[in-house]
A and B are shown apart, each in its own frame.
Chain A
Amino acid sequence: MVAQDSAIKTQPIVINMGPQHPSTHGVFRLRLVLDGETVIDVEPVFGYLHRSKEKLEEERTYLQTLPITDRMDYLSSMTNNLGCSMAIEKLANIPVPERAQYLRVIMAELTRISSHCFAQGMQLQEMGAWATPLMYFIREREKIIDLFEMVSGARLTFNYIRPGGVSQDIPPEFIPACYKFIDEMPGYIDEYEQLLVQNEILRSRTMGVGVLPRDLAINSGASGPVLRASGINWDLRKQDPYLVYDRFDFDVPVGQHGDTYDRFMVRMYEMRESVKIVRQALDQLPPGPVTANLPIVIIPPPGDAYAHIETARGTLGFYMVSDGGANPWRFHVRAPSLINLTALREMIIGHKVADTVVIFGSIDIVLGEVDR
């Protein structure tokens, strides 16, 4: 803590990084104790964005819960809709038409790409690359958002996936546009890799930084790219296939070291895999209805249901308890962003201040989901 051979009196300084800070992805606070530049203790503080979403959901009918889930993880609202819809479907035994399932897969994977794009861009922004990589990643994200706008009319909170299917069928121009995008995307990913992955500054900033050991990753309940970068082959799309994921051929990229570079690269490879899935889903897309016939107010029988999906950030779970009324009696979200933060302290301690934001960014949280 103190310079050993020195007679100069030194003392650790405490820095409140956040809630207003450019790199905390919103209003997150890290209470850092520093010895010079080295972090010797860190205490994450959150709750600044708490909007009591779960309680709000309990005051609404099942269909009305969906728009609120959009606003939890606002960078991948499609998958939030998906998880919530799946829980409602499980609770009320609603069948989902096959075409809707394929559309859901397409939307979920496109969401994964767009969310990873943003995560990678922000990661580099935090490394100080001065917005250039971010703008390039956002270029691709915009294309996905355009596709989403085509199907849902919105650009951020889509509210497209509904219990029983999706809100409406895709317009005819969607499929060629989507094919065009997935044809272009691997080239863009190659471009990023050329620009970034061999960059020595990037490598020396990320390799061996913020190591999340395998055991700790499991014990802390981490999921998604954070868990897979630590060397655990765990992806709900493979382990507990939902929708029609078992019909597609794709790999799950797994890292070995659990450092920031692995998390970065796992996301990079996941984008490629998602492109593969979207292409297969588009090829196999069956005709038919896109939504089940549902009453305006869904009243499920008493009981509870838990549905989990693999979002860009990890395992997103929705738990609902019904008492036979029109509203959920209990509504709980297992947010991957929040749970991935569990091991943050262990990952940061011993690194420099500059690494703190990089490690924090590599977990890829969305504050709307952490605090809900």
Chain B
Amino acid sequence: MNGDIHNFFNIDGAIVSALSGILPAWALVIVAGLIGIIALLVFLVPSQLATIWIERKLIGRFQIRYGPNRVGLFGLLQPLADAVKIVGKESITPAGVDKWVFWLAPIVTFIPALLVYAVIPFGPNLILADLDIGILYLISISSLGVIPVFMAGWSSNNKYALLGAMRSVAQMVSYEIPLVLSIISVVMMTGSLKIGEMVSFQADNLWMFLLQPLALLIFFISASAELNRTPMDIVEGESEIIAGYHTEYSGFKFSMFYVAEYTNVLAVSAILSAVFFGGWLSAPILDLLPAWLWFIAKIYFFFCVFVWIRATLPRMRADQLMGLAWKFLLPLALVNILVTGIEVYMNLHPLLISFINIALAIGLVAGWSELIGNRAVRNERRQYIPVVPVVR
């Protein structure tokens, strides 16, 4: 089985067993963990560069320009050039900042972004820690992301940064709730908090996006709000509050925020593909590729979807964003939980559940947005011909 690209844990096992004669047992545990962490970083660091390149190139195409094409073939070395530039910049600590917090925030911001990957299943058995409370761990870790943002905003001694931090707390706390509730309905169906088991559930039944379309929608919107991506990037809305919480950051400290943002986007894409789109499962006909490649392909697909949305939509206003969370997503998530509960209790066939839930999702989203959405705004028709008498 050695050399099988379908399972990297063979390599891990080989290394550990080779060392087992030399090292004591406690050291082996540490070595095994370290191998996993290094493996994750081996995925993450090139991913950073790849995502930066993909985003810049895609956004360029969306904006009828070429994107980077000067550094290397197709501009492939552009992310490296970006990295060199940003690290080479002077790292300014403005006067009057709270130095400790100011320095700590960029470091702290990267930790939850990285910790999330511990429970992400790249393949069957290819998961660093398949915790029993995997999804709970994931949500709790990702909600820590608000703390470094607030630390950065508060310590910067800058009013724009403070505004951004205030917005971020309001936004992230609001969107945490529909996010969790949308996951709850998924958990009710799978009956497990383990992410690995969520994927195997989808192997036995339908993929979760067919079973829980409404949860997918809510999760997607809430997650992009958590990520501060357009149309919900009010936290760093550059046309309003310049750069929000990281206005005062520069050089390497800024790059930490930057890297954390992309890591988070990838993490959310990973969760999306694991929980809703079958994780490492392949499409039925294309079983040749290894599972982890499928998973990574899905991650990058959802990353591209995030880029697409970013390139298309204008930003919402802070109060409209809160309204969306509390008035729209939260009630829908609650209804979804109720319906899912009934379905699970009655033990319906997955196909029937899928049918009901898709109909429910379409009906609820359309109906609820008609009912409470700004229908007046959406349907208003205005005339722009001079109906007013001429003023002389």
Contacts and interface: CB of A to CB of B under 8 A. Distances in A.
Interface string A247-265: 0000111111100011001
Contact of A251 (B233, B240, B241, B385): B385
Contact of A202 (B311, B314, B388): B314
B384 A136 contact: no
Interface string B51-69: 0000000010011110000
B374 A200 contact: yes
Contacts of A7: none
A204 to B, nearest CB: 5
A353 B241 contact: yes
Contact of B386 (A23, A253, A261): A253
A232 interface: yes
Interface in B314-347: 314-320
A136 B65 CA distance: 10
Interface in B229-254: 230-231, 233-234, 237-242
A201 B390 contact: no
A201 B317 CA distance: 9
Contacts of A85: none
A160 B159 CA distance: 46
Given A129-B313, A135-B63, A139-B64, A22 B238 contact: yes
Interface stretch (A119-127, A164-172, A294-302): A119-127
A131 B159 CA distance: 25
B38 interface: no
Contacts, number: 136
Nearest to B63: A135
Interface stretch (B130-138, B147-155, B356-364, B375-383): B375-383
B312 interface: yes
Given A37-B163, A207-B377, A353-B163, A128 B391 contact: no
B387 interface: yes
B55 to A, nearest CB: 11
Nearest to B65: A135
Interface in A175-210: 199-205, 207
B163 A354 contact: no
B382 A352 contact: no
B369 to A, nearest CB: 9
Contacts of A261: 382
A51 interface: no
Contact of B314 (A205, A234, A356): A205
A233 B386 contact: yes
A132 B317 contact: no
Contacts of B320: 204-205
Contacts of B276: none
A63 to B, nearest CB: 36
Given A15-B159, A132-B63, A136-B64, A252 B378 contact: no
Given A135-B65, A251-B385, A253-B386, A203 B380 contact: yes
A254 B318 contact: no
Contact of A200 (B377, B383, B392): B377
Nearest to A126: B239
A125 to B, nearest CB: 6
Contacts of A15: 159-160, 163
B24 interface: no
A232 B320 CA distance: 31
B389 interface: yes
Nearest to B240: A354
Interface string B30-64: 00000000000000000000000000000100111
B6 interface: no
Contacts of B241: 353
B385 A204 contact: no
Given A252-B386, A353-B163, A239 B317 contact: no
A22 B320 CA distance: 23
Interface residues of B, number: 48
Contact of A256 (B160, B240, B383): B383
B384 A255 contact: yes
Nearest to B390: A233
A245 to B, nearest CB: 15
Contact of B377 (A139, A203, A239, A352): A203
A317 interface: no
B310 interface: yes
Contacts of A131: 63
B112 to A, nearest CB: 26
Contacts of B319: 37, 352
Interface in B159-175: 159-160, 162-163, 166-167
B390 to A, nearest CB: 5
A251 B237 contact: no
Given A204-B320, A239-B392, A352-B319, A132 B238 contact: no
A367 interface: no
B384 A354 contact: no
Contacts of B387: 254, 256
A348 to B, nearest CB: 13
B29 to A, nearest CB: 46
A204, A233, A269 interface centre (most CB from chain B within 10 Å)? A204
Contacts of A37: 163, 166-167, 318-319
B390 A128 contact: no
Nearest to B234: A354
Nearest to A15: B159
A84 B63 CA distance: 37
Q: Which of A37, A207, A357 has the most CB of B within 10 A?
A: A37
A21 interface: yes
A3 to B, nearest CB: 14
Given A204-B377, A233-B391, A239-B390, A262 B314 contact: no
Q: Which 7 residue pairs spanning A and B have beta carbons closest together?
A: A128-B315, A135-B63, A253-B384, A129-B314, A127-B314, A233-B386, A254-B386
9 contacts: A23-B240, A129-B230, A129-B312, A132-B59, A132-B311, A135-B64, A257-B382, A269-B384, A354-B318
Given A132-B59, A354-B240, 13 more contacts: A22-B239, A126-B239, A128-B230, A128-B314, A129-B312, A199-B314, A204-B374, A204-B377, A207-B380, A254-B386, A255-B382, A256-B383, A354-B234
